[in-house]
Each structure stands twice: as C-alpha cells, then as structure tokens.
Amino acid sequence: MRLLSILILSLTCLLKPAYGPDTDTPANRICGKWESSEKNLVVEVYPYKNTFRAKMIRFTGGVSKAQPMESITDKKNPDPALRNRKVLGMDVVENLVYNPKSDSWENGRIYEIQSGKTWSAAAYLENENTLKVKGYWKVKLLGKTMTFHRL
C-alpha cells in the first residue's frame, strides 16, 4: 500500500509542469497568459522570488501596424542605452506582491512602452478569467485600468 502511494505521488509530480505556477495558492491565480481587451497585447504573468512579473509575449502596438513585433524596440526609453532593446520578451510589470486581505496584487511597477514611463501598478481578478491591471501615479484613483482575458 505504501509503495502504491509513493508511485501515485511520483506520477503526480512528473505530470505537473515544473515551470508552471502552483495554482493551489491564491497568490498564483494571477499566473498565466493574458490578452488585453484591445487584443493588441499578450503578457505572461509569472512568479519571481516573492513577487509577480509580466513579460510581453505579443505586441502589435508599434508606430506602424505593418512593423513586425519582433523588430519593435524600446525607443522611448529614458535611458538611451536601452532604446535599441527589443520589447518582445521584456518584463513590463514587476514587483507585484499578493495581499491576501484585499485579494489583490499591489506595490508593483508597470512600464509603458509607448511613452517610456514607469508607473505604480496594482492588479486584481474580477473573476478567474478577467484580470484588471491599474497603472497610476501616487494615487490609485487617478490611474488607468487595463482589462485582460485569460488565454
């Protein structure tokens, strides 16, 4: 009987992706791929140390609609040394920390490619398939909220 339990546990561990989030914890419900409601941006939210980040995996918001997303660079970055880096694969949200009391992710930073500006960020799940991300400056009430849908 003990051998059967060990075998089942071993198979369960093998079948669970090693890189995937532990969705059993409330904080990790934010992890996964999300598409903006405008359908011009897809990000992948992933855990990083004790925080969460989001990297850009698809972006069609360049100056020219004909410009391939692989060639879009961070040309508005305030640091001239970073203006030639590709935006595809870049972290655009960092340092989100889960707050169990409010069931939200707070104290993060969001980078806006179009302007080169970094804002404070917070996020919450409206439901399991709808993510709201707010970028703001000093006061949450004065920010802009983006809606994402789980892919």
Could you give the maximum distance between any two Cα atoms of the chain, in Å?
Answer: 64
pLDDT tens string, the chain, 151 residues long: the values are 443 333 333 333 333 333 344 457 999 999 999 999 999 999 999 999 999 999 999 988 655 566 788 888 999 999 999 999 999 999 999 999 999 999 999 999 999 998 999 999 999 999 999 999 999 998 888 899 999 999 9
The pTM of the full predicted model, rounded to 2 decimals, is: 0.80
> How far, in Å, CA of 44 to CA of 91, rounded?
9
> How far, in Å, CA of 34 to CA of 131, rounded?
8
Domain 23-150, second-level architecture: Beta Barrel (2.40)
pLDDT value at residue 1: 45
- Measure Cα distances from 28 to 8, 23, 31 in Å: 24, 5, 5
Place of tokens 């989001």: 54
In the chain, where the domains are located = 23-150
